[in-house]
């Protein structure tokens, strides 16, 4: 059985009539594959937040998308990134199925939010997170560009891509230390950094990959980059992430990851 994570746009395609990258009958294909136990759908609170962020203006559509997510994922809604990371640090790596998903009471609260209760607060938080994220990424980009100038270099495509591959472990270890881990638990662990901190490693890696694209390739930082990074951080717990976002997929191509990013056409035509 393959575990699969569909990004927010895929759930929106299910709910909107008209042209989309998904083949005809995609929802039925997914339902049949789940029924045959060939596919297991995994979700996250960050995905749910994205699906219901427009609830104040489009309450019916928001509820339909969330209902579909819960229909397919059921109890397989991953812990939030910060909690998942703390649990991974304690466990020494990837979490077992009985530890990686939301506890029952939190799952019920998530379903209450999806029904529209508290939707205004979710929308407010989503907007604030995007705004704060954009400011932080722009500052990080400007800081990195200044350092390159001081070193007499410039952010070429090749240099930036090589920098990402070399820098992920260092950045992850610093973040883990900032979150309270003992230095003895982190130092010297570069070789298995992904194995020990899989969720934070993938989250940081894709953010660095996007910096490689924005600095080295002139792409624009987007508010949706934060949601994409949260989706990628779920990657260690699935085999496939389905997305039609070209910039998102090309950022993942910079990295060596133990899961695949597939377009909706690739995924659904293979069911």
Neighbours of 178 (CB within 10 A): 8
- State residue 214's pLDDT score: 79
197 CB-contact burial (10 Å; exposed 0-12 / middle 13-18 / buried 19+): buried
Residues 159-185 have pLDDT tens digits of 777 777 777 788 787 777 665 544 444
- State residue 35's pLDDT score: 96
Any idea which residue has 């954009």 for tokens? 134
- State residue 176's pLDDT score: 73
Q: Would you say the C-alpha torsion 208, 214, 219, 220 has a positive or negative sign?
A: positive
Separation in Å, CA 30 to CA 94, 139, 255, 268: 27, 41, 28, 7
Q: Which of 252, 253, 210, 257 is nearest to 237 (CA)?
A: 257
The phi, psi pair for 103, rounded to 5°, reads -65, 160
Residues 101-137 have pLDDT tens digits of 999 999 998 888 777 666 666 666 666 666 676 777 7
Start-to-end C-alpha separation, the chain: 12
- State residue 266's pLDDT score: 96
Strand order across the 2-6 sheet: 39-41, 2-6, 240-242, 260-262
- State residue 120's pLDDT score: 64
- State residue 127's pLDDT score: 65
The C-alpha atoms of residue 7 and residue 242 are separated, in whole angstroms, by 6
The C-alpha atoms of residue 260 and residue 68 are separated, in whole angstroms, by 23
The C-alpha atoms of residue 107 and residue 134 are separated, in whole angstroms, by 29
Per-residue pLDDT 10s for the chain (271 aa) are 899 999 999 999 998 877 899 999 999 999 999 999 999 999 998 899 888 888 778 888 888 999 999 999 999 999 999 899 999 989 989 999 999 999 999 999 888 877 766 666 666 666 666 667 677 777 777 777 777 667 666 666 677 777 777 777 887 877 776 655 444 444 443 447 888 899 998 998 888 888 778 777 777 777 678 888 899 999 999 999 999 998 888 888 888 788 999 999 999 999 9
């Amino acid at each position: 059985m393959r575990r699969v994570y569909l990004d927010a746009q895929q759930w929106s395609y299910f709910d909107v009539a008209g042209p989309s990258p998904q083949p005809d009958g995609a929802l039925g294909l997914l339902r049949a594959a789940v029924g045959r136990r060939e596919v297991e759908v995994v979700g996250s609170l960050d995905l749910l937040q994205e699906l219901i962020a427009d609830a104040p203006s489009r309450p019916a559509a928001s509820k339909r998308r969330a209902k579909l997510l819960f229909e397919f994922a059921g109890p397989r809604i991953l812990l939030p990134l910060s909690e998942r990371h703390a649990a991974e640090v304690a466990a020494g790596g990837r979490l077992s199925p009985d530890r990686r998903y939301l506890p029952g009471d939190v799952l019920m609260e998530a379903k209450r939010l999806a029904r529209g209760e508290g939707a205004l607060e979710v929308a407010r938080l989503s907007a604030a997170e995007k705004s704060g994220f954009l400011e932080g990424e722009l500052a990080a980009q400007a800081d990195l560009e200044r350092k390159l100038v001081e070193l007499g270099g410039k952010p070429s495509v090749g240099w930036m891509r090589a920098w990402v591959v070399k820098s992920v472990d260092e950045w992850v270890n610093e973040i883990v230390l900032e979150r309270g881990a003992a230095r003895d638990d982190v130092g010297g662990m570069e070789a298995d950094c992904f194995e020990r901190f899989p969720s934070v490693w993938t989250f940081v890696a894709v953010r660095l990959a996007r910096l490689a694209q924005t600095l080295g390739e002139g792409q624009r930082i987007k508010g949706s980059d934060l949601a994409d990074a949260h989706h990628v951080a779920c990657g260690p717990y699935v085999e496939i992430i389905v997305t039609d976002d070209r910039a998102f997929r090309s950022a993942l191509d910079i990295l060596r990851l133990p899961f695949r990013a597939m377009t909706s056409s690739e995924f659904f035509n293979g069911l």
